[in-house]
Structure 1
Amino acid sequence: MDETIPLPEPIIHRIHSLLTAKEAARTTLISKSWYTAWLTRPILDLDETEFRETRRRNNYGRYNHDGFSEFAKKQIRRCEKSNQKIETFRLYLEREPRADWEASSLSYELVLTALRLGAKYLDLKLNGSRGGKPVLPDEVLGAENLFGLSVEGYRIIDLVRDQKVRCSKLEHLSLKDVSINPGVVSEIMSACPLIEKLSMIEITNFNGGCLKSTFYDAMICSHKLTHLVLCNVRADALFFSDDCLSSKFPSLKDLTLELWYLHNRNEAEKKLRVSVNSLERLQYVSRHGRPVAVEFDVPCIRKFTFNNDSFEVPPVVIKTNSTEWESHVTMSRFRPNTSMFLELSKFLTQLSQSKLYLTLKVDSVERADYEMEDLLGLPCTLQLENLTIETKYLASLIGYALFDGLFRLCRPKCITQHLLYVRRYGNEHGVTDDFLCKILERGTKGHFSSPFNFFYGLHGLEEAYVLAPADEAVGVWRLLTSDLCSDNTAFASTDGQGKEVRILLKWKEA
Structure 2
Amino acid sequence: MGERTCSVDRISELPDFILHHVLSFLSTKEAARTGLISKRWQYVWETFPILDCNEWFFGRELDILNPKELGLPKDERRKIFDRRQKFLSYVDEKLQRFPEENLCVNKFLLHITLVSNNLASRVDAWMDLVSDLSVRELDLYLTVGKERFYVLPLKVLAMESLRILNLRGCLLSSSFNRNAIKLTSLIQLHLRDVSIDEETIQDLIFSIRSMEVFSLKNCLGFENLEICDHDKLKKIVYHPHKDLKVKKFSINLPTLEELDFCSVDKDKTACEIVVNSACQNLKRLSLCGIPIDTNWLQSMVSSFPLLEHLFLGGCVLQQVMKLSSSVLKETYLCNCRKLVEAEFDTPNVHLFEYRGKKMPRLNLNSITGDRVAGLSVRLNNMDNSWFLKLNSFLRDNKFHDLTLSMTGSVKKIPFSAKGFMGIQISPFKLNNMTLVTHALTLGNYAGLLDGLFCSVRPQILSLELNYYSPEFLKRLLKSLVVDKPKCCCSEEFQCWRHMLKDVKLINNVKGFQSTTSVLNAMTLKNLTEFLDEWAIEAHKTVQSFGTLIGDTLSFHLCW
TM-score clears 0.5: yes
What CA distance in whole angstroms lies between the structure 2 residues aligned with 1:38 and 1:439?
Answer: 54
Q: Is the 8 A contact 1:135 1:156 kept in 2?
A: yes
Q: Could you tell me how far 1:491 is from its partner in structure 2? A: 7.3
Offset of residue 327 of structure 1: 3.0
**Residues 358 and 487 (structure 1), Cα distance of their counterparts in 2 relative to 1, 3 Å cut:** closer
Is it true that 1:124 corresponds to 2:140 in the alignment? Answer: yes
Report the CA distance between 1:85 and its aligned residue.
3.5
Are 1:387 and 2:434 counterparts? yes
What's the counterpart of residue 66 of structure 1?
Answer: 85
2:168 aligned residue (134, 152, 169): 152
Deviations 1:295-342 (A, max 9, x none): 5958374x6677769998895858363613553626386653459948
2:501 maps to 1:467: no
Q: How far does residue 147 in structure 1 lie from its aligned partner after superposition? A: 0.9
Match of 1:6 among 5, 13, 20: 13
What's 2:220 paired with? 205
Which of 152, 157, 160 lines up with 1:141 in the alignment?
157
Tell me which of 92, 108, 114 is aligned to 2:130. 114
SS in 2 for 1:496: helix
What SS is found at the alignment partner of 1:360? strand
Call closer, same or farther: CA 1:205–1:41 in 2, change over 3 Å.
Answer: same
Aligned counterpart, 2:3: none
Q: TM-score, normalised by structure 2?
A: 0.63
Is the Cα contact below 8 Å between 2:198 and 2:221 reproduced in 1? no
Give 3-state SS (helix, strand or coil) of 1:467's partner: strand
1:3-402 paired onto structure 2 within 5 Å: 6-52=13-59, 62=80, 64-94=83-113, 98-99=115-116, 101-102=117-118, 104-126=120-142, 130-158=146-174, 160-162=176-178, 165-181=181-197, 184-185=200-201, 187-200=203-216, 202-207=217-222, 209=223, 211=225, 215-222=226-233, 230-232=261-263, 239=273, 241=275, 243=277, 246-247=279-280, 249=281, 255=284, 257=286, 259-262=288-291, 265=292, 269=296, 273-274=300-301, 278=306, 282=309, 284=311, 286-287=313-314, 290=316, 297=325, 299=327, 301=329, 315=342, 317=344, 319=346, 321=348, 323-324=368-369, 326-327=371-372, 329=374, 331=376, 335-337=380-382, 341=386, 345=390, 349=394, 352-353=397-398, 355-366=400-411, 381=428, 383=430, 385-390=432-437, 391-396=439-444, 400=447, 402=448
Letter in 2 for 1:388: L
For structure 1, the residue ranges without an aligned partner over 5 or more in a row are: 424-428, 451-455, 479-483
Q: CA RMSD in A?
A: 5.2
Shift of 1:10: 1.8
**Amino acid across the alignment from 1:395:** G
1:415 aligns with 2:461: yes
Q: Any idea what SS the aligned residue of 1:331 has?
A: strand
Q: Distance in 2 between matches of 1:506 and 1:4?
A: 44
| CA–CA distance in structure 2, aligned partners of residues 351 and 171 of structure 1 | 44
1:5-55 residue CA offsets vs partner (Å, 9 max, x unmatched): 822122223233333444434333444444444444433221111111889
- The DSSP-based 3-state class of the residue aligned with 1:146 is coil
Cα separation, 1, equivalents of 2:151 and 2:424: 60
Q: Deviation per CA, 1:317-376: give whole Å up to 9, x if none.
A: 583636135536263866534599489849965993554231323322246677998997
Q: 1:439 to 1:111 in 2, by over 3 A?
A: farther
In structure 2, list runs of 5 or more residues that go unmatched.
1-7, 62-71, 235-254, 350-367, 536-551
Equivalent residue letter for 2:154: D
Contact 1:327 1:357 in 2 (8 A): yes
Q: Distance in 1 between matches of 2:220 and 2:392?
A: 36
**Between Structure 1 and Structure 2, how many residues are aligned?**
465
Distance in structure 1 (CA, Å) of the matches to 2:149 and 2:389 = 42
Letter in 2 for 1:381: F
C-alpha separation between the residues in 2 aligned to 1:178 and 1:374? 58
| Residues 151 and 305 (structure 1), Cα distance of their counterparts in 2 relative to 1, 3 Å cut | farther
TM-score by length of 1: 0.68
